[in-house]
Structure 1
Amino acid sequence: MTVVIAHRGNSAVAPQNTLAAFEAAWRAGADMIELDVQLTADGAVVVIHDDDLDATTDGTGRVGDHTLEQVRELDAGSWFSPAFVGTRVPTFDEVVQLLLTRPGTDLLCELKGEWTVEQARKVTGPIVEAGLEERVIVQSFWPGTVAALREAAPQLRRGLLLLEAPEDVVDRCQELGVMTCNPHGMLLVQHPDLLGRLHEAGLQVMVWTLDETAHWAAAVAVGVDAIITNRPDRLAGWLAARQTDSATAPAGV
């Protein structure tokens, strides 16, 4: 069964990368929640996608130029809907606590940009301390960050995100010791052999970010392991319907 991964939570029904979106993803039956983390000026780990605050909060400027206290004062929900006025940018510790109380949904955590080993431990430490090693995959576009994660907590599962598909991608994955390689959906179209090469190397493939039924069907047909989507509720229902149809189809059909 294809794994359903909620991109920044159930970001179609609640503001992305907030506890409300993560709760909605859990209620929608997502297998995993995908989120993004960045560091504040005082070294705290917060959950937000953009380097700047402008798009998803009422603040301005770079996340890394603000302290945790300053980031936590911002409204991260009113841009999405008046119903979410006062929603805050979550800390990573809050996400860990949410996972502990929401069984059945795991975490795919992306570290944005370059992180040192010491910085990476700010993410891996709470995961290990909470005993969530089997429920979390950490990933990044940045090979240096993936290497830092390996040194910080070699027991955690890791992934490499892809926006391009270099010829040596399998070698890179093996050097970094990742268990999944996660490409943009168009890469599977542009490089028809990519999925097979990754699977032959023993790697899982979690494709992003697919929101249309036709794209889900194409991804399932070629055998991706997981789909990252902004519509986890719809994808979960679509997959369940396919499974039901397959189970009830007459023999030979």
Structure 2
Amino acid sequence: MSHTPTVIAHRGNSSVAPQNTLAAFEAAWRSGAGSIELDVQLTADGEVVIIHDDTADATTDGTGAISAMDLSTVRTLDAGSWFSPAYAGQRIPTLAEVVDFLNRRPGIDLLLEIKGSWTAEQVRRVTDPLQAAGLFDRIIGQSFWPETVAALAEVAPTLRRGLLVFGIESVDALLSQCAELGVVTCNPAGPLLVEHPDLVTRLHAAGLRTMVWTLDEPEHWAAAIALGVDAIITDRPDRLLGYLAA
């Protein structure tokens, strides 16, 4: 009997609400997802905001680099209208709003992705508020950037960490990198499961979990479940939950 993977809502329930907004996080919670995946970036004044791209162009009515805008400017942007008029006025969330959301919505966890190469000092801007709120037991911090994962280990050794991977040289090299970084989970792009059919088995043998991304189709879910993944990151958490229930 294959085990039922945790359903992780990619940028919230991003098929029904604008990605990385409080509306999408609320929709993910209502769907019954086990966890929410979201992305953090820093503003020009060093505030943590929730947005995937390093520019405002794709998901707001603004333009330009998030790192070049102060928080006050970022907060004027409309992050909902591009998705649907119903979501006009949705804002790019702050980390404080995410903390508030988690406090109001027990029973859902957070897979927090740090975009880019961050210093230990920058990483603290994320970990300190989460630690102060007592939320570490509900959160995994992850990044594609090994130096950012290492910075997480340095500033918040008790926060669980994950390494995201898009392509790998070999499973051996990946396992040694995971050991070096002290991560609890290694989270591969879907195609890696096809390229390296032994990946999940070997990660599990090394004591690691694996959360695959971003799978939105039933045939991909079936293949991942057959391989024994621990979690599936999806834009369609409601549909995946229905699929798993059936």
Q: TM-score normalised to the size of structure 1?
A: 0.94
Cα separation, 1, equivalents of 2:144 and 2:95: 19
Runs of at least 4 residues of structure 1 off by over 2 A? none
2:218 is aligned with 1:195:
no
Identity %: 68
User: Hey, what does 1:77 align to over in structure 2?
Assistant: 80
User: Hey, what does 1:251 align to over in structure 2?
Assistant: none
User: Hey, what does 2:224 align to over in structure 1?
Assistant: 219
Q: After superposition, where does 1:1-253 map in structure 2 within 5 Å? A: 1-167=4-170, 168-241=173-246
Counterpart AA for 2:243: W
Measured after TM superposition, the shift of residue 166 of structure 1 is: 2.4
Measured after TM superposition, the shift of residue 238 of structure 1 is: 1.0
Counterpart AA for 1:209: T
Counterpart AA for 1:231: R
Cα separation, 2, equivalents of 1:133 and 1:42: 25
Counterpart AA for 1:218: A
Unpaired runs of at least 5, structure 2:
none
- Give the secondary structure class of the aligned counterpart of 1:74: coil
Structure number with larger C-alpha Rg: 1
- Give the secondary structure class of the aligned counterpart of 1:155: coil
Cα separation, 1, equivalents of 2:22 and 2:149: 25
Counterpart AA for 1:24: A
Q: CA RMSD in A?
A: 0.6
Unpaired runs of at least 5, structure 1:
242-253
- Give the secondary structure class of the aligned counterpart of 1:38: strand
Q: TM-score normalised to the size of structure 2?
A: 0.97
Counterpart AA for 1:48: I
Measured after TM superposition, the shift of residue 211 of structure 1 is: 0.3
Cα separation, 2, equivalents of 1:51 and 1:128: 25
Measured after TM superposition, the shift of residue 22 of structure 1 is: 0.1
Measured after TM superposition, the shift of residue 87 of structure 1 is: 0.7
